[in-house]
Structure 1
């Protein structure tokens, strides 16, 4: 049986580039992950509705293993970072990838802005988390997404580009982390079904759980 996050979580920190499969999709190579902080209005719970504005298109889902922080953490090394995690949950990195919101420089070899991820309701998170197990437990967990019951994403945490302690340590060297902050660790990418016409999306991670949200156009 999992434990519940507080009704209001702390900071929602997101890391991009956490999976090699996602980097291969974009033909990118990272020395370290991208990092952004998700605004409160983007965060919704399981069962709440993802609202896609009419002005955006090619909306991608992303099932993300998400660490729940249990202790204050700043400028931590990898051991300190791992010890500060109290559990894991799932978040959905909903991303508009069409022409609007637009890339800051369409000719640039890398995407240099994250506004297309920060729209209201675009960061669902499962409010139940499971307590941390040994690090080896997370080395090869199945990660998937279904849209209206059809498989959109299939991957595994064995595809991660960085270890979990590396990513949490990295994040702590940029932002101060506190109890009940969450850190999303990336997704496998390569969705075969987008959310533009979907009515429901489910993100699943082996041994962690399932995150399901209705989807509507507005």
Structure 2
């Protein structure tokens, strides 16, 4: 099942005919993802045969404002190699603040007074559906609602200048996510998905989640040992090789660039880089 949000209209579900039906039309008026999750079994059955009532929606981020965005650094083997870094012995975790979330086609703001080195990072995003605390890897899948495409946009100059990297990762609009949540039952193996990024139509990243150092079950288990993962929380699992900072010379995003991140079976997000003034 596909779970999405459209601007000003709440949650919508993908139908078997390929269209969209509002959850309100199915008798559920949820304002946050956690409220929707408890109704999923009934909604999934109803949506399968429902008549679409939402057409050409402008999609918002399907997770809204999650309680936590937990991101993983240096988690693709080829990405570690391109940066010449040692392989981490445990997952490198940092926070990306919820106010950075933006929609799958919304602009990425580049403010030259703050940063001159904005980079893209296509990532598999894991959306938690049911509370997870001290779970082991073999039971991690029981707590996952589904998956979507994320872009861990990063200000590399800020990242180098400060000992903590969360600020460099959390500028407004620096977390495009979407286009929808594909529920876990439709993704048989999250570690066998092709993941790509293009900038202005030129391929920059082209890899597979099979290159992950720490897989999805390991990440859920690792994080749940120190904090409760709650419905709607997002785990960004890391980015593959091909980032702008790994190029020779480093090649960063400029105003007007169009960044497309795509993951097999999950869809794609596409965001134009703009100045803050241009977005007002």
After TM superposition, the score normalised by the length of structure 2 is 0.69
Give the Å deviation of 1:176.
Answer: 1.5
Change (3 A) 1:87 1:17: same
2:99 is matched with 41
For residues 138-149 of structure 1, what are the structure 2 equivalents within 5 Å? 138-149=190-201
In the alignment, does 2:218 pair up with 1:159? no
Matched length: 211
> Is contact 1:152-1:194 (8 Å) kept?
no
Question: Please, which runs of 5 or more residues in structure 1 have no aligned partner?
Answer: 106-111
Larger radius of gyration between Structure 1 and Structure 2: 2
Select the residue among 168, 180, 183 that pairs with 1:116: 168
Which deviates more, 117-126 or 187-196?
187-196
Give the Å deviation of 1:136.
Answer: 5.5
> Is contact 2:65-2:101 (8 Å) kept?
no
1:20 is matched with 77
After TM superposition, the score normalised by the length of structure 1 is 0.87
Question: Please, which runs of 5 or more residues in structure 2 have no aligned partner?
Answer: 5-61, 245-250
Q: Which has the higher contact order (CA 8 A, sep 6+)?
A: 1
In the alignment, does 2:250 pair up with 1:180? no
Higher helix proportion (structure 1 or 2): 2
- Distance in 1, matches of 2:74 and 2:226, equals 16
In the alignment, does 2:128 pair up with 1:69? yes
Aligned Cα RMSD in Å? 2.1
- Map Cα deviations across residues 107-166 of structure 1 (whole Å, 9 max, x no partner): xxxxx6343212111111115111114875223211111112211211111111012100
Give the Å deviation of 1:79.
Answer: 2.0
- Distance in 2, matches of 1:208 and 1:141, equals 9
Give the Å deviation of 1:80.
Answer: 2.5
